[in-house]
């Protein structure tokens, strides 16, 4: 075993951390959060210039990374800075599915994703699917898509949206799910800002004509690929949440050392000291959970999924604890929108509502452990 | 002991129910149910409906025109009002300032200010906290210097809830800097329209603007607006804080919140079955409900005791801690129950239902409420401060 990052990943981490510390300060982020598009095109292309998008793809795909630990390193830093740009949606979901399933023409998009010129989103969940990956009721029949996709993260800023549809089987069968890669302007969307940053859309598919050549991958067998890409997305969001928790903890440490009440720093109160210790303990647990998920991302699916669900469950619990304790130990100031912790706390807590929450992954872990 | 309501109490419960059914408009209760921000006009309207019935000043003594309800009556009202989604009663004038005036105010002050609280002519806010004086309230710095018939006030208050609606603020100010902190504080009533006062909104993390900074620059306050004696304000402030704490158990809100969680969990599907039938989620609901049932009895027990003269000290702190934890847990459950549709961050979730909600209508306010209600364990004496009180009271002074 070896717990050191490779030299390349160490460099990636340093570069990204320095860039974001420099360019993504709190006023910048608050301005982005209040902007119409909810993201910064400038940051997006600067990230591409640094090779961040490229680090999420392997060499065959035109990148220089793409392994679990590349994902973990990049998203931990993105999370530390609380960045809200749709990297996960574009590179993990969009790029991941296109790389795995695309025909030559579709794969042409990978280069422009890596260059920062194209953004992709995945529209998979539906109002009745909650967190079930196989529940797809949107239909594709006679060249038309009919259905309703909910909370498609990143869709409002995407150039293309990947839409999952059912072509055979029952509502929650794993077989019979296909994907289509559709230009975003063709879609009827209602957009919303997301608590904790980013944009999402509900997409109304009222018999949208989509030709067969827009299909991404073979007919009816997308589920396995969705599982794989969700395993990556969960690892990414856990790493991102880990980074956010590090920031929340750091802000709390600074505050305990500087805020004075009763004539002394509040960090001198043992009631708070012990709780800070618990935050630090949970943070290390979360770090190991993320390392576990990243390290087994390419293992056989059973082993992978146990680690992935374990991470999502543990990180979900840790994030709630750390966000709530950080707010509590700051007192009123943490409740103000413009203070950095408010954004970070919202981001790490709301991550539990993406790709399956703490309870969903506990149940999945139980099911996987029974075999 | 007997846990059932007496005939009079049951009759009172029906009376409250009928009153709410008759007087609470559908429009108002929908706004409350959907987590909309109530306007000043909404709150004034509800106050005036209650006042017409004689139910606004629920715990004021009859001598001051109050209803003088006992603990059980208050409990019944709180529970029924929350279940009916009635607006909450704004506490600053009615249950914070008024008890102080009853006990420490002059006859002139009572005659002048109390009727205006009932009529809604005055809207009060609480000017205790300062940027540097939160838990350590006694370290407050806002200075009041006496010049003839006036005090000249300079300084800053913060976290002033609904100060944007207020025309009056009751403040703790420093009138003597040469004595022990607690002994140089006075309790002043200040007209917000006085020149030199500036109110600046603070946007909270859920996007709402319910608190403010209030700045004072050479503000002239008549000496007649001093409550009680100069430099005795700390005693009055602590008296007020105990009142603030007994109301903060929030049993009624928790009951209503739990009902709402159950409704959401009946509509939401998980793996194709209603979430409420998911054993894991059902266990989460049951766990909170068990806590809340006990809490509800603790609340009645302690408030009844207090009414018989036992001052709520350590028990009030217990109610505050446990009550806030339960409410926050219920907010957490609501957020979980909603699933992905908890994610939208829409100003309409806060401003009221102008636009069609994103996802099911019950989803709109839950995440915002979860974050907003982190305040419950921070304000009114943080939960750490309350625990400190409980331990110190129990262990006594030790070295
Ligand atoms: C089964 C067992 C095996 C052991 N084996 C060994 C051994 O092999 N070798 C050996 O040397 N010792 C051994 N110990 C002793 C052990 O190290 C002591 O019990 C321990 O250090 C605590 O001391 P104490 O029992 O005197 O409790 P105290 O120190 O009196 O503590 C009482 C309580 O006060 C708390 N407390 C104390 N100080 C603080 C503080 N500053 N802040 C907050 N809380 C505080 C403690 O956490 C505890 O809850 C053993 C004990 C047990 C129970
Ligand atoms: C939404 C909201 C509305 C409010 N409305 C009003 C209002 O209308 N009027 C008003 O006057 N005030 C109001 N407040 C202010 C509120 O009373 C203060 O926030 C509260 O007193 C805590 O002070 P602080 O925020 O400065 O935190 P601090 O006192 O700085 O506390 C920071 C942390 O240290 C802990 N701590 C402090 N001292 C100790 C100790 N001795 N031992 C252990 N832990 C300790 C605290 O518990 C907290 O976790 C409001 C606050 C909020 C958030």
Residues A228, A365 within the same domain: yes
B310 pLDDT band, cuts 50/70/90, is low
**A28 strand-pairing partners:** none
The pLDDT score that the predictor gives to residue A314 is: 98
Distance from CA of A335 to the nearest CA of B (A): 5
Same domain, A24 and A131: no
A2 occurs within a structural domain: no
Domain boundary among A88, A114, A140: A114
Inter-residue contact A63 to A114 (CB < 8 Å): yes
Q: Is the pLDDT confidence value at B136 over 80?
A: yes
Are residues A126 and A148 in contact, defined by beta-carbon separation less than 8 angstroms? yes
> Across-strand partners of A145?
A140, A208
- Output the domain CATH number for residue A282: 1.20.140.10
CA distance A279 to A322: 6
Identify the three-state secondary structure at position A102: coil
Domain presence at residue A101: yes
Residue A20 lies in a domain: yes
Please judge whether A172 and B388 are an interchain contact, meaning their C-beta atoms are less than 8 angstroms apart.
no
Among A89, A335, A357, A365, most B C-beta atoms within 10 A, so best to mutate, is A335
Contact state of A172 with B205 under an 8 Å Cβ cutoff:
no
Domain range B248-395, CATH class: mainly alpha
Shared domain for A146 and A110, answered yes or no, is no
The CATH homologous superfamily of the domain defined by B122-233: Butyryl-CoA Dehydrogenase, subunit A, domain 2 (2.40.110.10)
Q: Can you read off the two tokens belonging to residue A334? A: 């943490």
In a domain, A93, yes or no: yes
Residues A241 and A314 in one domain: yes
Examine domains B7-89 and B248-395 and report if their fold is the same. no
Q: Which two tokens stand for residue A182?
A: 């559709």
Quick check: helix, strand or coil at residue B320? helix
From CA B102, how far away is CA B90, in angstroms rounded?
18
Question: Is the same domain home to A109 and A124?
Answer: no
Return the SS3 of A46.
helix
Residue A344's domain spans which residues?
A: 224-370
**Residues in chain A, how many?**
371
Angle in degrees, 0-180, between the axes of helices A68-80 and A223-258, rounded to the nearest 10: 40
Task: Give, for all 371 residues of chain A, the pLDDT tens digit.
Answer: 889 999 999 999 999 999 999 999 999 999 999 999 999 999 999 999 999 999 999 999 999 999 999 999 999 999 999 999 999 999 999 999 999 999 999 999 999 999 999 999 999 999 999 999 999 999 999 999 999 999 999 999 999 999 999 999 999 999 999 999 999 999 999 999 999 999 999 999 999 999 999 999 999 999 999 999 999 999 999 999 999 999 999 999 999 999 999 999 999 999 999 999 999 999 999 999 999 999 999 999 999 999 999 999 999 999 999 999 999 999 999 999 999 999 999 999 999 999 999 999 999 999 999 97
pLDDT of residue B354: 54
Among A6-15, A176-185, B40-49, B356-365, the least confident range: B356-365
Q: Classify strands A120-123 and A160-166 as parallel, antiparallel or unpaired.
A: parallel
| pTM of the predicted model as reported, rounded to 2 decimal places | 0.96
Interaxial angle between packed helices A340-350 and A26-34, expressed in degrees from 0 to 180 and rounded to the nearest 10: 60
Is there a contact between A355 and A131 (Cβ–Cβ < 8 Å)? yes
Residue pLDDT, tens place only, B313-348: 788 899 999 999 999 999 999 999 999 999 999 754
Q: Which of residues 260-319 of B touch A (CB under 8 A)?
A: 268-272, 278, 280-281, 284
A1 occurs within a structural domain: no
Please report how many Cα atoms fall inside a 13 Å half-sphere around the Cα of residue B339, on the Cβ side.
Answer: 25
Fold held by B7-89 = Butyryl-Coa Dehydrogenase, subunit A; domain 1 (1.10.540)
Are B366 and B357 within 8 A, CB to CB? no
* pLDDT recorded at residue A266: 98
Does residue A195 lie in a domain region?
A: yes
Query: What DSSP letter does each residue of A51-68 carry, written as one string?
Result: TTTGGGS-GGGTSS--SH
Could you tell me if the CB of B109 is within 6 A of ligand 2?
Answer: no
Inform me whether the pLDDT recorded for B172 exceeds 50. Answer: yes
Residue where one domain finishes, among candidates A87, A114, A141: A114
* Domain stops at, among A169, A204, A220: A220
Of B129, B158, B270, the CB nearest to A130: B270
Query: Alpha-carbon Rg of chain B, whole angstroms?
Result: 22
- The answer to whether residues A163 and A42 belong to one domain is no
**Mean pLDDT value of segment B6-31:** 96
Bridge partners (DSSP) of residue A153 are A200
Count of structural domains, chain A: 3
Tens digit of pLDDT for each residue in B204-219? 999 998 999 999 999 9
Does residue A83's CB lie within 6 angstroms of at least one atom of ligand 2? no
pLDDT-derived band of residue B246, with 50, 70 and 90 as boundaries? low
- Angstroms from A13 CA to nearest CA on chain B: 29
Ligand 2 atom, smallest distance to A329 CA: 49
Least Cα distance to B338 among B284, B399, B265, B395 occurs for B265
H-only helix segments in chain B: 7-23, 26-33, 40-53, 71-83, 91, 98-104, 107-119, 233-246, 251-267, 279-307, 314-338, 347-351, 366-372, 383-395
Quickly list DSSP for B172-193.
EEE--SSS-GGGGEEEEEEETT
B170 CB within 8 Å of a chain A CB:
no
Q: Which positions ≥6 away from A155 have C-beta within 8 Å?
A: A89, A121, A123, A161, A184, A187, A189, A191, A199, A200, A201, A203
Q: What is the pLDDT of residue B309?
A: 64
* Spatial distance between the Cα atoms of B142 and B154, rounded to a whole number of angstroms: 6
For a ligand 2 pocket test, name from A258, A261, A263, A279 the mutation site with the most ligand atoms within 8 angstroms of its C-beta.
Answer: A261
Dihedral sign from CA coordinates of B115, B244, B86, B205? positive
Higher pLDDT, A209 or B34: A209
B339 to chain A, any CB pair closer than 8 A? The answer is yes
What does the alpha-carbon distance between residue B323 and residue B305 come to, in Å, rounded to a whole number?
18
| Total residues found in chain B within this entry | 399
Contacts of A245 (CB under 8 A, 6+ apart): A282, A283, A286, A318, A319, A322, A323, A348
* Residues 6+ away with beta carbon under 8 Å from A123: A149, A152, A155, A161, A162, A163, A164, A201, A203
Beta-carbon count within 10 A of B342 CB: 27
Ligand 2 in reach of A256 Cβ (< 6 A): no
Q: Where are the domains of chain B?
A: 7-89, 122-233, 248-395
Q: Write out chain B residues lying below 8 Å of A271, CB-based.
A: 384, 387-388
pLDDT at B244: 57
């Amino acid at each position: 075993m070896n717990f050191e990052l490779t030299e390349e990943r160490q460099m990636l981490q340093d570069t990204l951390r320095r860039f974001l510390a420099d360019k993504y300060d709190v006023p910048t982020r608050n301005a982005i959060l209040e902007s119409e598009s909810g993201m910064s095109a400038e940051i997006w292309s600067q990230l591409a210039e640094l090779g961040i998008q490229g680090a999420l793809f392997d060499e065959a795909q035109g990148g220089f990374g793409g392994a679990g630990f590349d994902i973990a390193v990049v998203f931990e830093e993105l999370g530390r800075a609380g960045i809200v740009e749709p990297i996960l949606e574009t590179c993990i979901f969009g790029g991941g599915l296109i790389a795995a399933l695309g025909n030559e023409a579709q794969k042409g998009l990978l280069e422009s994703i890596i260059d920062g010129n194209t953004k992709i989103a995945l529209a998979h969940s539906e109002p009745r699917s909650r967190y079930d990956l196989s529940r797809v009721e949107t239909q594709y029949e006679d060249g038309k898509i009919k259905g309703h996709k909910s909370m498609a993260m990143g869709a409002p800023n995407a150039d293309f949206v990947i839409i999952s549809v059912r072509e055979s089987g029952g509502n929650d069968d794993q077989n019979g799910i296909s994907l289509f890669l559709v230009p975003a302007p063709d879609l009827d969307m209602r957009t919303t800002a997301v608590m904790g940053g980013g944009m999402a859309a509900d997409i109304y598919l009222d018999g949208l004509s989509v030709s067969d050549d827009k299909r991404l991958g073979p007919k009816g067998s997308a589920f396995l690929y969705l599982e794989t890409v969700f395993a990556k997305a969960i690892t990414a969001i856990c790493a991102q949440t880990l980074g956010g928790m590090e920031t929340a903890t750091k802000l709390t440490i600074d505050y305990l050392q500087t805020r004075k009440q009763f004539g002394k720093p509040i960090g001198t109160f043992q009631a708070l000291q012990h709780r800070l210790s618990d935050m630090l303990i949970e943070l290390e647990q979360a770090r190991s959970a993320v390392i576990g998920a990243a390290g087994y991302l390419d293992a056989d699916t059973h082993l992978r999924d146990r680690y992935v669900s374990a991470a999502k469950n543990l990180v979900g619990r840790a994030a709630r604890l750390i966000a709530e304790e950080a707010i509590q130990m700051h007192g009123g100031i943490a409740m103000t929108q413009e203070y950095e912790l408010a954004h970070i706390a919202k981001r790490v807590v709301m991550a539990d509502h993406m790709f399956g929450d703490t309870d969903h992954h506990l149940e999945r872990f139980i099911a996987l452990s029974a075999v | 002991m007997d846990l059932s309501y007496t005939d009079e109490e049951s009759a009172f419960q029906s009376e409250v129910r009928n009153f709410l059914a008759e007087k609470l408009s559908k429009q108002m209760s929908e706004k409350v149910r959907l987590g909309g921000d109530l306007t000043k006009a909404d709150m004034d309207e509800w106050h005036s409906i209650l006042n017409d019935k004689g139910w606004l000043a629920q715990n004021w003594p009859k001598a001051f025109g109050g209803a003088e309800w006992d603990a059980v009556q208050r409990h019944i009202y709180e529970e029924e009002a929350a279940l009916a989604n009635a607006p909450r009663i704004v506490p600053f004038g009615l249950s914070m300032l008024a008890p102080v005036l009853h006990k420490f105010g002059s006859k002139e002050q009572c005659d002048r200010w109390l009727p205006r609280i009932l009529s809604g002519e005055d809207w009060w806010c609480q000017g205790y906290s300062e940027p540097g004086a939160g838990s350590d309230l006694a370290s407050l710095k806002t200075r009041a210097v006496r010049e003839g018939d006036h005090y000249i006030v300079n300084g800053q208050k913060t976290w002033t809830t609904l100060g944007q609606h207020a025309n009056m603020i009751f403040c703790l100010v420093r009138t003597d800097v040469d004595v022990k902190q607690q002994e140089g504080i006075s309790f002043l009533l200040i007209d917000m329209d006085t020149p030199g006062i500036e109110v600046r909104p603070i946007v909270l993390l859920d996007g709402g603007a319910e608190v403010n900074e209030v700045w004072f620059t050479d503000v002239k306050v008549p000496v007649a607006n001093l409550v009680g004696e100069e430099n005795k304000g700390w005693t009055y402030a602590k008296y007020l804080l105990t009142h603030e704490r007994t109301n903060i158990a929030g049993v009624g809100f928790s009951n209503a919140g739990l009902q709402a969680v159950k409704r959401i969990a009946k509509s939401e599907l998980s793996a194709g079955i209603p979430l409420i039938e998911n054993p894991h989620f059902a266990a989460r609901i049951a766990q909170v409900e068990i806590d809340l049932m006990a809490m509800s009895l603790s609340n009645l027990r302690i408030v009844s005791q207090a009414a018989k003269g036992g001052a709520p000290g350590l028990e009030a702190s217990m109610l505050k801690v446990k009550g806030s934890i339960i409410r926050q847990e219920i907010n957490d459950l609501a957020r979980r129950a909603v699933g992905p549709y908890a994610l939208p961050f829409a100003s309409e979730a806060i401003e009221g239902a102008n636009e069609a909600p994103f996802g099911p209508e019950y989803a709109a306010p839950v995440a915002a409420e979860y974050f907003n209600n982190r305040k419950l364990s921070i304000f009114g004496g943080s939960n750490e401060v309350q625990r400190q009180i409980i331990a110190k009271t129990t262990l006594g002074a030790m070295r």
